[in-house]
Amino acid sequence: MSVTVDDQKPPKPVSRWYFFDWQYVLKIGRLPILKPAALVITAAPLVGNIGQVAAISTTGFWYMWWASVLSLAAFGITKISCPRIVQEYETYEDYEKRGHSHRFLVWLFHHNLNQFPTPDAQLREVVAKQVATSCDAADGPAAVPVMPPASTDGKLTFPPVNANRDLYLGFWRNGRRYVLTLEEGDPKLPEKSKELFWIISSALLSSKPILRKIVWLLYGASLALSLWSLWLNLIRPWFGSDETTLTFGDRLVKALVILLGGSP
């Protein structure tokens, strides 16, 4: 198989901001500390009543309440916007455990091509890593589908074609015809499958940058509000001067006694 000079260009380097990609957003969303967020939101009416009964300042709680709302909003945006492949398969081993057919990866590449930040870079990569083969190559696929001529509307890829228990995805690049395929009888099928999986996954990890920024901003704001709430409720009272008024903890106990029918 012949590879053009353009296809031999080095791949796009990993961004220095890679730790803002989807895999790290998912790690934040899986932190156990975020699970009580729903409980905090649910407790809002009760806390409001306690504050009225015992004259407790609930400002600190409401900071925590907003922090919980923001963290849940970030989590919801992540579940809706993060590519399904990234959420389901953290590694290639996770993908292998599902027992998918070798054709499934070709379908994944086809369906997610428009979500890649730079689709042409992924087309170049599958050619350079010999997952895609030139239609004119002597060692090309055993069955090459009929490739439509390059369209005038700029369409470069075409729907996959089934043949001989395999799937063939045709595309044009630099005026040449290529076919992306994983053939069942290919002795290099495991290596090519793993390579194609990481090409797809790596591209999707950095997709939808605007939504990722929104999620990180929400998590950052949630963290800031949580820390401020802790300062108001737990840290600042320890540094206050000796006062005759009740502490927050004492007032909270008083409120619970009153709500249970006791006398203050």
Question: Within 13 Å and on the Cβ side, how many CA atoms surround 215?
Answer: 24
- What H or E segment, with its residue span, contains residue 105? helix 102-112
What would the two tokens of residue 37 be? Answer: 């967020």
What would the two tokens of residue 77 be? Answer: 């945006």
**The pLDDT of residue 31:** 76
Per-10-residue mean pLDDT, the chain, length 264:
48 63 85 64 49 48 78 90 90 90 91 87 89 69 54 64 84 82 88 93 90 93 82 62 54 53 48
Are 62 and 90 contacting, i.e. CB atoms less than 8 angstroms apart? no
**The pLDDT of residue 2:** 41
Are 94 and 88 contacting, i.e. CB atoms less than 8 angstroms apart? yes
**The pLDDT of residue 167:** 86
CA distance 168 to 179: 6
Q: How many other C-beta atoms can be found within 10 angstroms of the C-beta atom of residue 146?
A: 8
List Cα–Cα distances, 200 to 37, 146, 206, in angstroms.
33, 25, 11
CA distance 12 to 20: 17
